Amino acid sequence: MRHVRLGRTGLKVSPMCLGTLSFGLQSDVGAAQKIMGRAADAGIDFFDTADVYPALLAPEDEFADHVGRAEEIVGDWVSGRRDEYVIATKFRYRTGPGPNQQGAGRRHIMAAVEASLRRLRSDWIDLYQLHAPDPDTPIDETLSALDSLVRSGKVRYIGCSNFLAYQLAKALGRSEVLSLARFDSVQPRYNLLFREAERELLPLCAEDEVGVLAFNPLAGGLLTGRHDRGRAPDGDSRFALGQAASIYRIRYWRDAAFDAVAEIGALAGEAGLPPATLAVAWVMANPAVTAPVIGASRPEQLTDTLAAADVVLDDGLLSRLDRITRRFRWGDAVS
């Protein structure tokens, strides 16, 4: 694979990023290692994880047992060849029972980064990301703490995830005013069934040279065409696992989405592409997107998504996809 710049930085990353939410729960250690190997063989050297992976997929009473497991699996796999990979991880969500074991305050950030470094078996993190906005912490405090990590060398670059355009714009402005490290990337949810980022966030990122790492490019797997609205979701899917199940069902398990998936599948058939390949190629076709964050629970699931790296969608196909999914530019509240 070719390499691209992450936003305005000098950091080069593969145009696909491997997500690791499944590691340690949906994917046992052996499967996770095979997934990383398959991705690396295809040219992916950019991995994204988080301190709460795969705990977000676990039942509430098992949450604590899974905190940090994905980071450990990634750290073990890259050990001895750390320089070959760009590792991104995230902080913000609850990692313990205490009130300060979560959030974007200085105390939690300092504890969280040390824990992530230990689990990743690394002296540095290439991209350290705020997993979601924290309404209880002033953004100035968060940016100041992250800036100190960049200056110390423990973190190379900082980014954010799940930010709305106004939240990112405010953070960029505060970094400029205070002469602090700024968010050089953002992770929005972005796919054919959720295009809200196109309205304000992606134009902002293009204007201010912020890298875009689009997660959920397959809408939790719905865009693969494997799910049927007439039957319950498979037990190992995002629509059935732990605390995430209700979130994914609210996002995508509705008639409008299934209707669109059927039309998208028909277009994929005309184009001679698997639906997953078409869906990921569509995300990559947006010039504001640096890389989609692709995931898998089994190595073979990567076949169709990796194929998207070699697909260029023509204008006619892009226009037809736009007509089918344009309504999803207005978010989830589309019947």
Q: Point out the residues that are catalytic.
A: 53
**Beta partners for 4?**
13
- Give the integer Cα–Cα distance in Å for 282 and 262: 16
Residue linked to tokens 């994914």: 248
Alpha-carbon distances of 267 from 71, 288, 328, rounded to whole Å: 38, 24, 18
E strand spans, the chain: 4-5, 12-13, 17-19, 46-48, 86-91, 125-130, 155-161, 183-187, 211-215, 291-294
246 exposed, middle or buried (CB, 10 Å; 0-12, 13-18, 19+)?
exposed
CA 184 from chain centre, in angstroms, equals: 15
Q: Is 6 left (phi over 0), alpha (psi -120 to 50) or beta?
A: beta
Longest dimension (CA), the chain: 55
Among 132, 142, 195, 121, smallest CA distance to 162 is for 132
